Structure 1
C-alpha cells in the first residue's frame, strides 16, 4: 500500500506549536526527532551506561528537529498534505517541508525501532511484544502491539491519563482496606490466572480506547469490570488483541461505538483520551454513566483549552479535582457532585 510521508524541519521552539497546528488538521500521530533530546541524554552520563552509540544516532546531533507524519495515499490526503505544507510554510517561517510517497512494505515496521519499554507511572510500564524485559518486583507491565495507527503509551496525553487513573484506583483500593493491585508476578511469563480472581474492584469505562492501554492498565490496577469503546473498528480489533495478549479478557469487554451513544453501563471511573472538543461533547453525557461520587478523567487537551474544557465539565455537574499538565498537554480529573447523577 502506498503512503504519503510529510517531513517538517523546524527550529526547536517551533515543535510544540507545529504539533498543535497538525492536531488542528486531524494529524494525531507524529514522530518527532529532536537533537536536543539526544544532547540531554548524552550530558547525563551518570544516569546511563552505554556499551556503544551508533553512528546513525550520533548523526542526529547535526540535524534540525523534524516532525514526520504519514497518511494513506488518496486524492483527499494528497490535498490535505499540500494544504498543511502551504499553511505551515506561511505560519512558521524557516520551516523546510518535504512530501514523498512511500511503499509500506519498505517502512511498515520501521516505527518499532523507536518503541522501547517505558516506565509510565509509579507502577505501570508499557513494553512492546517484541522487546524482552525483566520488571522490578513492584512493576505492572502492559504488553502491547499497537500497530502503526495507535499510541504506545509514551505520549503525554496517554501518560497523563495513566498517572491520574493510577492515583484514583490505588486511592480507592487503600480507602476500602483491600489490596486492589493485581500482582503480575516476576518476569514476563506471568501466572495470568490471578488476573481473573475477584477483587471487588471498581468498574471503568474507557471511551476512545485506541490500542487498549488504559483499559489494560485499569485491569492491572484492580478494576473489576472494564468496558472499552472506540468508533474505529481497527481500534476495536487492536484492543481485543492486546487484551488477550495481557490475559485480561475476563475483565475487559470491547465494543464499537460513538462515545457513549447507546451504552447501558454505569462505571465508578470514566477515562477518555480524546481531544478537547470531544471531551466537552462527552462531558454533557457522562453523568448518566457514573455511579455516585464517580470520577471522570479526560485527556488529549491542549493547555490553552484547559479552562474551557474544565468549565464544560463543571457545567455537567462535576467538581474539578486536578488539572495536571505535561508540556503543551493536560488532563483533568473531576468527580460527580452529589445530586448530579442520573
Structure 2
C-alpha cells in the first residue's frame, strides 16, 4: 500500500500551534520530534534503571524540531495534501496564509487562529516536504540484511527466504521473525544456545523458554535433543510467530507455545529454564523460577549487559542458585546457574 509521507520542520516554539492546525484538519496521528523532550529525558536518565540507551538519542542537540505524519495515497489523502499546500508555497508557510487561503477551506479547518500564531513570529514558521512511499519499503527492506549466520559450532540460523546448504553435523534453524522480536543474530541468542549445548542432556531434558520471541531458543533446544519444550511470551504476536517457526522447523511435536507473563499461570516443571530477557526481568524471574525446576536443574539467563552481571548474579544466588559460569560476548553476558534444592 502507498502512503504520502509529510514532514514539517519548524522551531520548537511553533510545534504546538502546528499540531493544532493538523488536528483541525482531522490529522490526529503524527510523530513530534521536540529536542527539548529529549534533553529532559537525557537529564533524567540516571533516574531510570535502563539497560541500554540508543546512541542516536545522545545527539538531541543537533535535532531539528518537526512533525511527521502519513496520509493514504487516495483521493481523500490527496485532497488533504492540497489543503496543506494552500498554506505552504515552495515548502515555506505563506505569510498571511490565513487571509490568502480559500475561506471555505479555513472554515472547515477552523485553524485561522493557529495560523495567526505562526505568522506573528519573526522567523520562517515551517518548511514542508512530502513524498509517496510504499509500506514495503520499510516492511521488507530489512530482509536484505538478514543472512544465514553460524551462532555456534553446530547451530546455524537462516531466514526462510534464503538458501543454505548445511555442512556435516550442522543444525539449521529456519526463521521468519515477522513482527516478533528476534532474528537470532544478537549476541545474547548465541550465548544462550552455547549454554544449552553444554547443559542440555539429549533426549532427557525438558525446557521452559521464557520470553520466547520468535521461538529461536525453543527450536534450538528441540534440534539439540530436548524432549519437551514449553515456550511462553506475553506478546500474542510473538506467540503466533513462534508457532509458525516451530511448524516451519518440524518440531511441533516437541514445542508447546503459550501466551503468558513470565511463569505466572504456567504449571510446568523442567530441567532447564532459559530466559533471554533484560537484567531487571531476569532478577524478577529468579524469585519464581525455582518452583518450575525439577531437582538440581539449570537456569540460563541473558539479555544482561556486562556492567550489570554482578548485581544480576548476586540476585540469582540470593534465590538459592549457584553460579556455574558466565559467558561474555561484546557488551553482553549470559549466566548459567544450578538450583540447590
**Same fold, TM-score > 0.5, yes or no:** yes
Structure 1 residue 154: deviation in Å?
A: 0.7
Structure 1 residue 90: deviation in Å?
A: 10
Matched, 1:322 2:325: yes
Query: Tell me, which stretches of 5 or more residues in structure 1 are unaligned?
Result: 5-72, 173-179, 181-198
* CA 3–275 in structure 1, closer or farther in 2 if over 3 Å, else same: farther
CA contact (8 A) 1:111 1:148 kept: no
1:136 corresponds to? 167
Give the secondary structure class of the aligned counterpart of 2:157: strand
Structure 1 residue 104: deviation in Å?
A: 2.8
TM-score, reference length from structure 2 = 0.65
Alignment of 1:58-207 (within 5 A): 78=32, 83-84=37-38, 87=42, 92=58, 104-169=135-200, 172=201, 180=202, 199=203, 201-207=204-210
Structure 1 residue 105: deviation in Å?
A: 3.0
Distance (Å, rounded) in 2 between the aligned partners of 1:206 and 1:138: 24
Structure 1 residue 167: deviation in Å?
A: 1.3
Give the secondary structure class of the aligned counterpart of 1:284: helix
Deviation string, structure 1 residues 146-199 (Cα, Å, up to 9, x no partner):
114421111011111111111112xx3xxxxxxx3xxxxxxxxxxxxxxxxxx4
Distance (Å, rounded) in 1 between the aligned partners of 2:35 and 2:245: 32
Structure 1 residue 92: deviation in Å?
A: 3.8
Alignment of 1:1-342 (within 5 A): 78=32, 83-84=37-38, 87=42, 92=58, 104-169=135-200, 172=201, 180=202, 199=203, 201-337=204-340, 339=341
1:23 corresponds to? none
Distance (Å, rounded) in 2 between the aligned partners of 1:109 and 1:137: 32
CA contact (8 A) 1:89 1:95 kept: no
Q: Radius of gyration: which is bigger?
A: 2
* CA 80–157 in structure 1, closer or farther in 2 if over 3 Å, else same: farther
TM-score, reference length from structure 1 = 0.64
Distance (Å, rounded) in 2 between the aligned partners of 1:222 and 1:89: 40
Distance (Å, rounded) in 2 between the aligned partners of 1:243 and 1:90: 35
Structure 1 residue 253: deviation in Å?
A: 0.1
Deviation string, structure 1 residues 36-73 (Cα, Å, up to 9, x no partner):
xxxxxxxxxxxxxxxxxxxxxxxxxxxxxxxxxxxxx9
Let me know the Cα RMSD of the aligned residues: 2.9
Give the secondary structure class of the aligned counterpart of 1:152: coil
Deviation string, structure 1 residues 77-98 (Cα, Å, up to 9, x no partner):
7579984587489984698658
Query: Tell me, which stretches of 5 or more residues in structure 2 are unaligned?
Result: 6-27, 43-53, 70-132
Distance (Å, rounded) in 2 between the aligned partners of 1:151 and 1:80: 30
Give the secondary structure class of the aligned counterpart of 1:285: helix
Structure 1 residue 231: deviation in Å?
A: 0.2
Give the secondary structure class of the aligned counterpart of 1:331: strand
* CA 161–81 in structure 1, closer or farther in 2 if over 3 Å, else same: farther
* CA 141–80 in structure 1, closer or farther in 2 if over 3 Å, else same: farther
